[in-house]
Structure 1
Amino acid sequence: MLITTILVSLIMLIVWKKSVWVVALFLAVVLIELLYLSSQMTKFTKGGFVPILLAFFLTLFMGIWHYVQKERYMFELKNKVSTEYMNKLVNNPNINRIPGIGLLYSELVQGIPPIFSHFIANISSIHSVVVFISIKAIPIAYVALDERFLFQQVKPREQRIFRCIVRHGYRDVLGDHVEFECQLVQHLKEFISLENFILEAEGTSTEGKTLTLGNENDMTTTTNATDEDIIVQSRVSSDSIQGFEVTKEFEFIEKQMENGVVYMLGEAEVVADPKSSIFNKVVVNHGYDFLRKNFREGDKPMAIPRKKLLKVGMTYEI
Structure 2
Amino acid sequence: MFTPIVILWLLSIAAVGIYNILRWNPVVYRALSPYYGYNFFKLTGKDGFISLGGILLCLTGSEAMFANLGHFTATSIRNILAVFVDTFFWPVFFVVTLAGIVASQAVISTTFSVVKECHAFGCFPRVKIVHSRRWLPGQIYIPEINWILMVLSLAVTMGFRSTKLIGNAYGIAYMTLAIVTTWLTFLVINLVWQKSLVLALLFTVLFGSVDIFYFSSSCMRIPKGGWVPLAFALIFLLTMYAWHYGLRNKYLYDQHTKLSMRWILSLGPSLGIIRVPGIGLIYTELASGVPATFTHFVTTLPAFYQVVVFVCVKTVPVSHVPHKERYLIGRIGPKSYRLYRCIIRNGYKDTYRDGDDLENDLVMSIAEFIQMEAEGCGAVDGSVDGRMAVVKTSEKFGTRLAIADLFGPGGSSSSHPTVVVSGYKSPTLQNLQASYEQESPQLNCRKRVRFELLDTNYKDPRVKEELLELVAAKCAGVTYIIGHSHIKARSNSPFLHRFAVNVVYSFLRKNCRSPAVALNIPRICLIEVGMNYNM
Normalised by the shorter chain, which TM-score bucket? 0.7 to 0.9
TM-score (normalised: structure 2): 0.46
Name which of 77, 101, 104 aligns with 2:282. 104
Say how many residue pairs are matched: 277
- Aligned position for 2:323: 145
- 1:129 paired with 2:312, answer no
Confirm or deny that 1:188 pairs with 2:366: yes
Whether the 8 Å contact between 1:5 and 1:27 is mirrored in structure 2 is no
Post-superposition offset of 1:314 = 0.4
| Equivalent in 36, 39, 45 of residue 223 of structure 2 | 45
Q: 1:77 corresponds to which letter in structure 2?
A: Q
Identity %: 31
8 A contact 1:80–1:112 mirrored in 2: yes
Q: Choose 1 or 2 for highest CA Rg.
A: 2
- Mapped partners of 1:40, 1:70: distance in 2: 37
Q: Does 1:79 pair with 2:257?
A: yes
> What is the distance in 1 between the residues matched to 2:330 and 2:314?
16
Aligned position for 2:524:
307
**Which segment is superposed worse, 244-253 or 31-40?**
31-40
TM-superposition CA deviations, 1:63-118 (whole Å, max 9, x none): 22222211111111111112233134337786121211011111111211111111
Q: Displacement, 1:162?
A: 0.9
Tell me which of 450, 461, 464 is aligned to 1:244. 461
Pick the aligned partner of 2:184 from 2, 9, 13: 9
Rate the CA distance shift 1:27–1:123 in 2: closer, same or farther, 3 A: farther
- Alpha-carbon spacing, 1:27–1:308, altered in 2? closer, same or farther (3 Å): farther
Corresponding residue of 2:484? 267
C-alpha displacement at 1:180, in angstroms?
A: 1.8
Classify 1:194/1:300 alpha carbon distance in 2 versus 1 (closer, same or farther; 3 Å): farther
Alignment correspondent of 2:338: 160
Question: Secondary structure of the equivalent of 2:280?
Answer: strand
Once the two structures are superposed, what CA deviation does each residue of 1:192-213 show, in whole Å capped at 9, x if it has no partner? 12223339xxxxxxxxxxxxxx
Say which SS state the counterpart of residue 376 (structure 2) adopts.
Answer: helix
Distance in 1, Cα, partners of 2:513 & 2:205: 32
Distance (whole Å) between structure 2 residues aligned to residue 271 and residue 301 of structure 1 = 23
Aligned to 1:258: 475
Aligned CA distance change for structure 1 residues 302 and 275 (closer, same or farther; 3 Å): closer
- In structure 2, what is the Cα distance between the partners aligned to 1:23 and 1:298? 41
Match of 1:69 among 232, 247, 258: 247
> Partner of 2:89 in structure 1?
none
> Counterpart of 2:534?
317
The letter of the residue matching 1:255 is A
Q: Which moved more, 1:288-297 or 1:29-38?
A: 29-38
In structure 1, the gaps of 5 or more residues are: 200-239
CA separation in 2, counterparts of 1:36 and 1:97? 69
Change (3 A) 1:58 1:174: closer
TM-aligned CA deviation for residue 299 of structure 1 = 7.6
Q: 1:154–1:162: 8 Å Cα contact kept in structure 2?
A: yes
> Which moved further from structure 2: 267-276 or 101-110?
267-276
SS of 2:289's partner is coil
Distance 1:178 1:27 in 2: 53
Deviation per residue, 1:244-296 (Å, 9 max, x gap): 11011111100000000111121222211233222221221112112223344
2:86 alignment partner in structure 1? none
Task: Encode CA deviations 1:127-172: one digit per residue, 9 max, x unaligned.
Answer: 1101011111222343333322111111143221111111123344
Alpha-carbon RMSD: 3.4
Normalised by the size of structure 1, how large is the TM-score? 0.74
Does the residue aligned with 2:483 lie in a helix, a strand or coil? strand
Asked if the contact 1:173–1:302 (Cα under 8 Å) also holds between the matched residues in 2, the reply is no
How far apart, CA to CA, are the structure 2 residues paired with 1:165 and 1:10? 33
Distance (Å, rounded) in 2 between the aligned partners of 1:54 and 1:191: 50
The secondary structure found in structure 2 opposite 1:109 is: coil
1:293 lines up with 2:471 in the alignment = no
One-letter code of the match for 1:267? H
> What is the DSSP-based 3-state SS (H/G/I as helix, E as strand, rest coil) of the residue aligned with 1:119?
helix
1:56 to 224, 234, 241: 234
Which amino acid letter does the alignment assign opposite residue 151 of structure 1?
Answer: I
1:277 aligned residue (480, 485, 494): 494
Closer/same/farther in 2, CA of residues 152 and 94 from structure 1, 3 Å limit: closer
Counterpart amino acid of residue 82 in structure 1: S
DSSP 3-state at the match of 1:198: coil
Distance 1:72 1:107 in 2: 9
